[in-house]
Structure 1
Amino acid sequence: MKNGQLKPGYNLQLGTNSQFALAYGLYPNPTDTRTLKPFLQSIQTLELFQHIVADAGYGSEENYNFILDDLEKTPLIPYGTYQKEQKKSYKKSEANPENWTYLEDSDQWIKPDGVVYSFKNYSRRTDKYGFEKDIKIYESDPIQASEELDQLARTEKGNLKQIQYNPTWNYFKNLVKDKLTSKEGARIYAKRKVDVEPVFGRMKGVFGVRRVHVRGQKVVETEIGFLLMSMNLTKLAKKIVQDKRNKKKNTDDSAGFHLKQLNLSVFFYLLASFCPASFPLTIILK
């Protein structure tokens, strides 16, 4: 918990569209990164959606790879340093290899100060969850163009400097960056905060739910399922009443056109985006 206390709880993953809860799941993982893949795998209607929209907490090489290659969907999910990389200081930083000059023919990087780094070897890293990453290791050349560069090419202990480059991760980063900055991607991603966040707001503010009152994942899932169904039904009832009021205000022709237009709009957004987000739930032990 944020106050330093350790309490039993679940990480609630919720997928929404137009502020209606479409799918949910409970996970013991405290972070969102490890929950996205099993959550998406559990959704039976995922073929209806083309875009997976989420915040930066879900951005990772494994998740991008799963969404693009396995699901064949479009991830509109920023990575952890996405906002930082938009700053001028980051784009001008000489310490950032992305701002260096790359020589494709010789597979070398040239730092702005003139130090040349050449490819040394590949390194395969496996995280504790079994996901493998292929890293390219570059090392500064022992002989540079000048004595000054020779000194800059070495650490304080006299070792040649190295940099690590992950081609797959950088490919995903550039792809996601292009998607998020495109006209369509920016429009869809902008809807995330007004789509999924209000659902959690209603859950806590209107329905007063911050904790569950049962133990065991199955029964907790049942309790949350009833809660989300009631939230969907109340929202649907409100929408039906509002549509009837709008229909009375218009003529028969205009009302028919309005309802047809509404159906097309809902269908369009259904195909456009699917917004997963998380919310921590605490168990009240009795």
Structure 2
Amino acid sequence: MPKKIYICGKRNSYSKTDKDATFMRIKEDAMGNGQLKVAYNIQHGVDSEYITWLTVGPQPTDTTTIIPFSKGMENNFKFKYEKIVADAGYESEENYTYIESNNQLAFIKPANYKISKTRKYKNDISRIENMEYNKDEDHYICKNNRKLTVSNIKTSKSKTGYKSEKTVYTCEDCSDCTYKSSYIKGKNWKIPMAERIKNLETSKLFNRQRKDDLERILSKEGCELRMNRSIQVEGSFGEWKQDMGFRRFLCRGKQNVLAKSILLAMAHNVNKLHNKIQSGRTGTHLFPLKEVA
């Protein structure tokens, strides 16, 4: 057992046939039911359509990859990028804080970006985003015009060691509230609905970071960078799979997978350079936004 724990390390699982690999839920599944498969998490850093940096890791999610990815890139490059563009899977308070402390700008799509546009989300009175906030007195006001004041401050620690602080707001009086069933969701058989009180738990730092980031990604520059992320970064994986016909690693071990990925990246960059020369786009870095007529 101690040997197995040592092999697993900080992961939740590992494969007996490839001890460096981790079980992950893969999108591409023949059964379409999200079965677990042995895999590696491969990350691409793309600039001007070229893969400039890549990593191979055991992380089952993308959230914890951006910081080690950025550190590895900066340690090997003689410069660092001023802007970090990433998808919603990379959003977290820890990542925002690291990017800010590193004097960089984050262009990360918020995890709730798509759902926040729906009517159901905007009409959900239980969400903190849909409540009025009094900054001077630091309290929220619900639809029934009752105050939710600070009752507690929680400190939590992530698996990576990052400490975050969350503020808990509690309603001053939830008795005889006509909106109670809409505010308080979930079943708690120990406490009757009549005795339950509305609580909100939120991170002030994360709220400010997400708000600033949202303003950036909605700007013209942000729209252009996000569009190019979809084309260039997702396109690099698409070219591996479709153009090169590469869909599965046949080697085992992290170092072998990394070596194979580097060779694929080099081939991708050579093909990209050839295509850009042929089309006269060697001096271009970003695809322009289409003008709306």
Quickly say closer, same or farther: Cα 1:26–1:223, change in 2 above 3 A: same
Give the aligned partner of residue 283 of structure 1.
none
**1:23 and 2:53 aligned:** yes
Counterpart CA distance in 2 for 1:57 and 1:51 is 17
> How far off its partner does 1:161 sit?
2.5
**Judging changes above 3 Å, is the alpha-carbon distance between structure 1 residues 46 and 58 closer, same or farther for their aligned structure 2 residues?**
farther
Shift of 1:86: 2.2
Q: Deviations over 1:209-265 (max 9, x none)?
A: 11222221112211111111112112212333444xxxxxxxxxxxxxxx9xx64x4
Identity %: 28
TM-score normalized with structure 2 length: 0.75
Letter in 2 for 1:20: Y
The AA in structure 2 aligned to 1:201 is G
The ranges of structure 1 where at least 4 consecutive aligned residues each deviate by more than 4 angstroms after the TM superposition are 3-6, 149-155
Larger RCO, structure (CA 8 Å, separation 6 or more): 1
Is 1:240 aligned to residue 277 of structure 2?
yes
Compute the displacement of 1:48 (Å).
4.5
Q: Quick one: distance in 2 between partners of 1:117 and 1:198?
A: 47
Aligned partner of residue 189 in structure 1, secondary structure: helix
Q: Secondary structure at the match of 1:208?
A: coil
Letter in 1 for 2:91: G
Question: Which 5+ residue runs of structure 1 have no aligned equivalent?
Answer: 244-258, 270-286
Question: Structure 2 regions of 5+ residues with no counterpart?
Answer: 1-25, 185-191, 287-293
Which residue is equivalent to 1:52?
84
Q: C-alpha root-mean-square deviation of aligned residues, in Å?
A: 2.5
- Which residue number in structure 2 is paired with residue 223 of structure 1? 260
SS in 2 for 1:135: strand
How do 1:180-191 and structure 2 match up within 5 A?
Answer: 180-191=217-228
Q: 2:238 aligned to 201, 222, 245, which one?
A: 201
The separation in 2 between residues aligned to 1:148 and 1:226, in whole angstroms, is: 67
**CA spacing shift, 1:112–1:218, aligned 2, 3 Å:** same
For residues 1-286 of structure 1, what are the structure 2 equivalents within 5 Å?
A: 1=26, 2=29, 3=31, 6-43=36-73, 44-45=76-77, 47-69=79-101, 71-142=102-173, 148-149=176-177, 152=180, 156-243=193-280, 263=283, 265-266=284-285
SS at match of 2:201: strand
Higher-Rg member (1/2): 1
Q: Secondary structure at the match of 2:195?
A: coil
TM-score, scaled relative to structure 1: 0.77
SS of 2:215's partner is helix
Deviations 1:14-36 (Å, cap 9, x if unpaired)? 11122211110001111111111
* Stretch moving more, 153-162 or 4-13: 153-162
User: How many equivalent pairs are there?
Assistant: 245
Equivalent position SS for 1:8 = strand
